[in-house]
Structure 1
Amino acid sequence: MNAPRGSRQPTLSLSSSPHQASSPARAALETALRRTELSIEPREEQALLRRIGRALTPGAQEVPDDMFRSALCGVRRKRWTSRLMDQTRRDGRIWISREDMEQAVAAVEDPTATDEDLFAALKPVMAARFHELGDTPKAALAGMQADMLDTGRVLSAAQTARLAEAIAEAFNMSDRDRFIGTAQEAEEARARHEASIEQTARTRREKEEKRLQDWESSLVGFQDVPRLLHCSQREAFRWIAENRIPVARRILQKEGHELWEFDPNELVALRALLPDWRRTNEEFFDRKEKRGRESGRRGDTPLPEPPNVGKHVANSVIARVAALDRYAAHFRTARALERRITLVTGPTNSGKSHTALDALARAESGLALAPLRLLAHEFREALAARGVEASLSTGEERIVAHGSRHLAATVEMCPFFNPVDVAVIDEAQMLFDPDRGAAWTAAIMGAPARHLYVLGAPECIPMVRRIAELCGDPVDEISLQRKSPLRAASAPVRLNELKAGDALIAFSRREVLDLRAALMERGRSVAVVYGALSPEVRRAEAQRFNAGSADILIATDAIGMGLNLSIRRIVFAALRKFDGRQTRDLTVQEVKQIGGRAGRFGKHEDGIVAVLADAGSPHFIRDHLNADPVAPEELRPFVQPDADIVRAIATEIGSDSLYGVLARIRRAVLRPDDPNYRLSDMEQPFAIASALEGVEGLDLTQRWTYAMCPVDDRDNGISRLVGWAADHAAGARIPPPGTGRLPPPDRAGREELERAEKRHKRLVAWRWLALRFPETYPDLEAAEETTQRLNEWIESVLRQQSRTKKQKDRR
């Protein structure tokens, strides 16, 4: 192989032992080397012999020179790619991907190619990519910068200038210098603006933290209450018990006792109320004693409701304002109704939704709440099949059925103010999810329906009972069994033993795609389902599998919710998963929920659950399937604030900072040992609120809306969101993201597929915001068309049953 200029290339001295010389491939190699006067390195010999051996016709001991050169290029392409990778990264050209380099070296047919030759081959590849990203240099630059942000990389001003130079050359611009200068200046301005936002955010966060620290340091113990309030110790105890004197903070001691702390300013402010409190208590106990004499016993009349006691007050008062410590009362419409709850539980494939949907279709008005946008669509279609037209409401989509009084929606979109006759809430076991569980708490407590059907797995029963108790609603319970039996396979399954109708379960996108590649190498047709795919693509893949166009389905545990699949056998490719915090064994409920997808009633007599060979023991599956439901350790439902609560707390603490409001909620509003509720995991809203502190020009409600936007920070979603928010605050209009580079599906590799999936997430966030800020995020219709085009491209990539060019070359 010819080395870069100035270096010396080692030459292979081929062995001439009798055994080796008798090899036709070796003889052909020696002949080709003499004839072409090329040299090879020792490490290239075996790969080259294999290629020549496959190219030789029976009885031949020579290959044509052009075939030999092509074989030698094939052997050297991997190292050519490595050389390009090394050079581009040292030069800071991080926008050039490995796939770009592989495509470039695939076009090189000279085995003596130098680095200059390799970079010359890379130019047309990058030019084509720039043109695919946009019709203009400006659009191509914006597309490339967005792609970089998706991967967590931001180009410096110097790198931006160099990228702009390459784009200008690709578009054959006449005014290149101006384009390059403008791009560099824009990047410098962006960096300065971003730094300013971060500095402002830091300053405001410090101010809010100091506000909270000053308040906490001002608190006093119980011993100071009588002195500050001008009352006796006995009266102080009684008024604290009546919740008239707010306890600012409760600190749990090691021995189990609570240390109470109080806001001295609030105690002083309460002095004027003492005469009324004393008179009210005297009248109350006089009435209580009188009723006791009349009934022959002491009465159990409840204590009077404590009064509201001003602003800038202690956390228990803020908690009352927030309604987080008595969350059920926050849903006034639901509490004004005489609701009854029917809890329908059972394993997968037990027909939980059938009865509830029938009741919903018969009702004059109704509401169907699903955990996923895909399922909301299915609820809407199920109602249509029963002759009822329904509107649709999800985070990123609205469909209005004029005149209809039925709505299908995702759980987070539950309307709390319009009473209906019947509501259905599906997948109630999601109550235990620390990220989304609060949405199910709110829906079950707040759905304004006279008859509420709650559907879920058996382990949700105690939690739903607890919520019903907090709401004062009666509960009827229906327990269903599977319609077809489910059994564990006695032996593990090898990859080549998978049959049509099998579903292989992995627990990461990478594992799914690795298994897909392995099965397609064996000539199997495959459909895939994993979380990064849009609901539309997941549904299309499920339909391919159900129709028999794909023999085998490979899926993550996203399969466990929301797809109607005709699966004969579930095969686990792993029995451990990373849950975002740790790698652990699958739980009993996970094995039952996922395994329960096997055995479609009416098509398969029974469902079989197995494990892939070398992935674990069949006994693990059998024991988990036969195990009783695991009793939940914690029955306090998750809660989180909404926009009304956020505004109320901001008023009480005298701050317009969302960061300050959420910090107070996390720190003190709902204490960790509250007997009824626990605060949901609000890490992402808190992170967004923290970053938004540096954006001026948005009010508290707008900030809260941005904090609720569905973004994935693994691809810099929060940074992009803050950039959009800053543009919003500046009065700019934010156009919908594009699809970016979409090469022909049969040439798309994993990197391009992942880029497309990230672009889809970007479009989801943009569409979500467009429904809430239509003037700032215009042209929703164009965004929906872009989303559809992107989904169709991703689906086409997944449908490809041929391998990439690289894999074809290898074969």
Structure 2
Amino acid sequence: MEPAGTGLADAAPANAALVDVALADAAPSRAAAAGTAPPATEPPPRPARHRRPAALSTPAAEAAIAASGLEVATRELPMLTRLVERRLPADAATVREALCEVRRRTWSARLLDQANRAGETWVKRADAAFAAGTVTDPEPDEATLRAALDEAVAARLRAAGETPEAALRIVAAEIADAAGGALSAERHAALAGIVARAHGLAPEAAAAFRDAAERAESRRRQDQRTAEALTRARRREEVQRLRDWERSLVEFRAVPELLGCTSKEALRWIADGRIPVARRIPERGGRERWEFDPAELAPLRAEVARWREDEAPAGRPGKAPAPMVLRPGKAANAAVARVAALDRYAAHFATARALKRRITLVTGPTNSGKSHTALDRLAKAESGLALAPLRLLAHEFRDALGQRGVAASLSTGEERMPVEGSRHLAATVEMCPFQNPVDVALIDEAQMLYDRDRGAAWTAAIMGAPARDVFVLGAPESAATVRRIAALCGDPLEEVSLERKGPLVAARKPVPLGDLHAGDALVAFSRRDVLDFRAELVKRGRRVAVVYGALSPEVRRAEAARFRNGEADILVATDAIGMGLNLPIRRVVFSALRKFDGEGRRDLNAQEVKQIGGRAGRYGRYEEGVVAVLAGAGNPEFVARLLAAPPAEPEDSRPLVQPDADIVANVAAEIGSDSLFGVLARIKRAVLRRDDPNYRLADMEEAMAIATAVDGVPGLSLLDRWTYAMCPVDQRDHGVPRLARWAVEHGAGRPVDPPAGGRLPAPERASREELERAEKLHKRLVAWRWLSLRFPEAYPEREAAEAETARLDRWIEEVLRQQRRGRATA
């Protein structure tokens, strides 16, 4: 069933799609609701009719259809014949019902086409299919079909929410999420009227409800238009400011004249860092063209005489370079870089720098006991901090400390679980408390330093963890960057290398799908492939658990428990099992040796094969772990070669860094702008040279996209908008436009309601599309809850959001527990 008003499965099969909201007096048979068709571009023509079929496969079916007296189109005969044959002996009523079943696909397509033409975007394919399933007259008129559709839609809208207000909000939000934009005020009002009638409001009350909804939506749309206009104006202003600055730059040949020096002197002082290069433009052959800002050079002319005095007779520097003299408040590029200070990033963490820290880097493959050793040390400390890459792992760290007799609080992006009197904290990496000193800190999965989206959070955590003893755990590939970070912080570093506790071997032969056995994990690299393999294995009688990235930590943990306790024989998973789950896997089988990494398809690398394959052979359960390839997926020698490969040196071991709220505020003050887009654009251009010897600027594309969407929202400060830019969203699910709509409501002083899914179908009847919709809704709730912790007055219904999150978790887990054979949509 489609959760009320949410447009669950536009392309889903219609069987049972709306059973849970069926009217008691109009429930179709399962056969009657068995199919759907894509909407037709034109109404289908009426078929040619004749009284007597030319030939049928059996005399009994021929006789039954002929005796019914019904007109049947030639193209309808094959299916009608098959249906009648299955129901022999058949009377006229049986033939009539069979003919209705044949025609329901056409009726469904006709209804959906009419709704599309009328702009009724709230009508879903499943509505049309369900409506067609209630029609029992093989020759219905248009009014009969339309009445059936209206009743199906009304049933769904009644189930969408307990009140018309709740139902309207859920349906309108789902339409906006599906289309990437809200309904027009007129269409919103039309939907409000339909919702009011579905909920049985009297005509006067329904009209008042519709008018109020139209006024509210008009106000929202006006606020959104205002915000969008301001955003465009700010963007134009900032882009023009940057273009004007770029046009003002001069090439190197102008520098000697501007400073009153020779070209050789200018080159020396550039190398010393006394003369700032405003922009470096790559050219062919690895060369660069340097450009300089005259506004930055002008105050330096007075320093030339002193620089010459400082230099030794041989023409080399005799003293450390003097600090640049910059005009205050003029937004010179070097001034922006100075206030941002990303090239001195380690100094941002004053508490950590004030401590006498010691870093212990513990590297080793999966199943080498890295976490166990560090957790023992953490539990013995009077105070401590455990930082994990995932909310799931933060919970596991908290549980592990509890098993060692240490009560720990929890802090993740969307939840807080304080424990009174506790001096230990388990948290996700982004939630590192930089101002609260502790004795011991543990930072896990250090190879995430190279992640383009989150790597800067690991840099900040390792540099800024306010602990005297910092344990950094990770794959051997992380060592090069951790060493650089320790050197930049001036912290002594001890390295500990652990070996795997049991052998890990590569299978010599591919594994057929039918040869998967209890304890095996089949690894795929997309949600679709995971569910396809699950369906095929269930058909073969196997009990299957699944783990993939779209599932919440709670559902992943429940699925892992099913596999761990033997309720499921085989685990089908994406590379999400490579991090954060304790699983008793006997053999890891790769279903593919290539993956899409966000930019293109590529071969798996050695670190990925080791991280994922290393989950096989859990110590104490299996003597060895086996890594294999599914038959038809590739050459097992590829896996064997990568398992045996030495740790790869990173292409660039400089740690990734990104601005924080303080840096954003400082740069904004320096350039005299309240535009978040302008601040981030200047940070990208000015604060860190591409050839900086120590740091790399992290990817800021998502933050820029959000900044562009919310920059003109009235009522939000610069740092409010920066907080929105840090919110985790799924851009593939229209995450940025949704965030902008929430921000407009926030800025206007209206509370932002949490996403809600309405009524969910029975788990045993849920389609794959309905499951995906529930997963997306869960992610939207994660973003809402993240914002509710930072803006509690604007996002006040936190308890309702948590209850809806828990409801979705339970429902998704129940759907995944279904093990009925032959069902590919569960």
TM normalised by structure 2 equals 0.87
Give distance in 1, aligned partners of 2:821 and 2:111. Answer: 24
Residues 1:30 and 2:30 are matched in the alignment: no
Residues 152 and 571 (structure 1), Cα distance of their counterparts in 2 relative to 1, 3 Å cut: farther
SS of the residue 1:570 aligns to = strand
Aligned pairs for 1:486-501 (under 5 A) are 486-501=504-519
Q: Report what 2:430 is aligned to.
A: 412
SS of the residue 1:344 aligns to = strand
Q: Which of 233, 254, 276 is equivalent to 1:246?
A: 276
Residues 416-425 or 794-803, more deviating: 794-803
Superimposed CA distance per residue, residues 111-142 of structure 1 (whole angstroms, 9 cap, x where no aligned partner): 44555444433333322221222122222111
Q: Report what 2:787 is aligned to.
A: 769
Residues 305-314 or 731-740, more deviating: 305-314
Q: Report what 2:128 is aligned to.
A: 101
Q: Report what 1:748 is aligned to.
A: 766
Give distance in 1, aligned partners of 2:825 and 2:260. Answer: 85
Q: Report what 2:193 is aligned to.
A: 165
Deviation at 1:663, TM superposition (A): 0.6
SS of the residue 1:85 aligns to = helix
Q: Report what 2:632 is aligned to.
A: 614
Deviation at 1:76, TM superposition (A): 4.1
Deviation at 1:524, TM superposition (A): 3.2
Give the partner amino acid of 1:31: A
Q: Report what 1:267 is aligned to.
A: 297
Q: Report what 1:370 is aligned to.
A: 388
Deviation at 1:7, TM superposition (A): 2.6
Give distance in 2, aligned partners of 1:299 and 1:269. Answer: 21
Q: Report what 2:3 is aligned to.
A: none
Give distance in 2, aligned partners of 1:262 and 1:299. Answer: 22
Give the partner amino acid of 1:514: D
Residues 1:7 and 2:7 are matched in the alignment: no
Give distance in 1, aligned partners of 2:133 and 2:387. Answer: 52
Contact 2:47/2:73 (8 A) holds in 1: no
Residues 515-524 or 453-462, more deviating: 515-524
Give distance in 2, aligned partners of 1:378 and 1:688. Answer: 32
Q: Which of 169, 172, 175 is equivalent to 1:145?
A: 172
Aligned pairs for 1:618-633 (under 5 A) are 618-633=636-651
Q: Which of 423, 440, 461 is equivalent to 2:458?
A: 440
Q: Report what 1:293 is aligned to.
A: none
SS of the residue 1:504 aligns to = strand
Q: Report what 2:19 is aligned to.
A: none
Residues 417 and 276 (structure 1), Cα distance of their counterparts in 2 relative to 1, 3 Å cut: farther
Superimposed CA distance per residue, residues 683-741 of structure 1 (whole angstroms, 9 cap, x where no aligned partner): 11001111112212222111111100111122222112112212222222223333333
Give the partner amino acid of 1:399: M
Residues 676 and 728 (structure 1), Cα distance of their counterparts in 2 relative to 1, 3 Å cut: same
Contact 2:767/2:825 (8 A) holds in 1: no
Give distance in 1, aligned partners of 2:624 and 2:51. Answer: 62
Aligned pairs for 1:508-547 (under 5 A) are 508-547=526-565
Residues 491 and 668 (structure 1), Cα distance of their counterparts in 2 relative to 1, 3 Å cut: same
Residues 1:459 and 2:477 are matched in the alignment: yes
Superimposed CA distance per residue, residues 440-477 of structure 1 (whole angstroms, 9 cap, x where no aligned partner): 11111221222211111122122222222322323222
Deviation at 1:681, TM superposition (A): 1.3
Give distance in 1, aligned partners of 2:73 and 2:355. Answer: 83
Q: Which of 356, 377, 402 is equivalent to 1:384?
A: 402
Contact 1:573/1:615 (8 A) holds in 2: yes
Give the partner amino acid of 1:38: L
Give distance in 1, aligned partners of 2:825 and 2:554. Answer: 29
Residues 1:649 and 2:693 are matched in the alignment: no
Q: Report what 2:328 is aligned to.
A: 310
Contact 2:401/2:407 (8 A) holds in 1: yes
Give the partner amino acid of 1:32: A
Residues 386-395 or 107-116, more deviating: 107-116
Residues 87-96 or 769-778, more deviating: 87-96
Deviation at 1:646, TM superposition (A): 0.9
Deviation at 1:259, TM superposition (A): 3.9
Give the partner amino acid of 1:671: R
SS of the residue 2:179 aligns to = coil
Deviation at 1:385, TM superposition (A): 0.8
Residues 231 and 189 (structure 1), Cα distance of their counterparts in 2 relative to 1, 3 Å cut: same
Superimposed CA distance per residue, residues 80-99 of structure 1 (whole angstroms, 9 cap, x where no aligned partner): 43333323222222222223
SS of the residue 2:439 aligns to = strand
SS of the residue 2:787 aligns to = helix
Contact 1:147/1:755 (8 A) holds in 2: no
Deviation at 1:316, TM superposition (A): 3.2
SS of the residue 1:384 aligns to = helix
Deviation at 1:101, TM superposition (A): 3.1
Q: Report what 1:84 is aligned to.
A: 111
Give distance in 2, aligned partners of 1:82 and 1:326. Answer: 64
Superimposed CA distance per residue, residues 290-346 of structure 1 (whole angstroms, 9 cap, x where no aligned partner): xxxxxxxx9997556656763324333322321222322222222233322222122
Deviation at 1:12, TM superposition (A): 9.4
Q: Report what 2:571 is aligned to.
A: 553
Superimposed CA distance per residue, residues 652-700 of structure 1 (whole angstroms, 9 cap, x where no aligned partner): 2221211111111222322222222221111110011111122122221
Deviation at 1:30, TM superposition (A): 1.4
Give distance in 1, aligned partners of 2:477 and 2:44. Answer: 70
Residues 1:346 and 2:364 are matched in the alignment: yes
Contact 2:273/2:321 (8 A) holds in 1: no
Give the partner amino acid of 1:685: A
Residues 1:731 and 2:761 are matched in the alignment: no
Deviation at 1:211, TM superposition (A): 1.1
Residues 483-492 or 137-146, more deviating: 483-492
Q: Report what 1:155 is aligned to.
A: 183
Aligned pairs for 1:497-508 (under 5 A) are 497-508=515-526
Q: Report what 1:471 is aligned to.
A: 489
Deviation at 1:244, TM superposition (A): 3.9
Give distance in 2, aligned partners of 1:236 and 1:4. Answer: 77
Superimposed CA distance per residue, residues 262-314 of structure 1 (whole angstroms, 9 cap, x where no aligned partner): 332333334566677677x48xx79x99xxxxxxxx99975566567633243
Residues 563 and 114 (structure 1), Cα distance of their counterparts in 2 relative to 1, 3 Å cut: farther
Give the partner amino acid of 1:638: L
Give distance in 2, aligned partners of 1:532 and 1:326. Answer: 37
Residues 568-577 or 69-78, more deviating: 69-78
SS of the residue 1:326 aligns to = helix
Contact 1:246/1:314 (8 A) holds in 2: no
- Structure 1 segments unaligned to the other structure (5+ residues): 57-61, 290-297
Give the partner amino acid of 2:423: R
Q: Report what 2:231 is aligned to.
A: 201
Contact 2:346/2:489 (8 A) holds in 1: yes
Deviation at 1:519, TM superposition (A): 2.9
Give distance in 1, aligned partners of 2:658 and 2:543. Answer: 45
Give the partner amino acid of 2:65: L
SS of the residue 1:407 aligns to = strand
Residues 1:128 and 2:179 are matched in the alignment: no
Give distance in 1, aligned partners of 2:525 and 2:823. Answer: 28
Residues 44 and 559 (structure 1), Cα distance of their counterparts in 2 relative to 1, 3 Å cut: farther
Deviation at 1:213, TM superposition (A): 1.5
Contact 1:333/1:448 (8 A) holds in 2: yes
Contact 1:321/1:649 (8 A) holds in 2: yes
Residues 232 and 465 (structure 1), Cα distance of their counterparts in 2 relative to 1, 3 Å cut: same
Give the partner amino acid of 1:199: A
Give distance in 2, aligned partners of 1:460 and 1:272. Answer: 46
Contact 1:99/1:751 (8 A) holds in 2: no
Give the partner amino acid of 2:110: R
Residues 252 and 522 (structure 1), Cα distance of their counterparts in 2 relative to 1, 3 Å cut: closer
Deviation at 1:223, TM superposition (A): 4.4
Deviation at 1:543, TM superposition (A): 1.1
Residues 227 and 510 (structure 1), Cα distance of their counterparts in 2 relative to 1, 3 Å cut: same
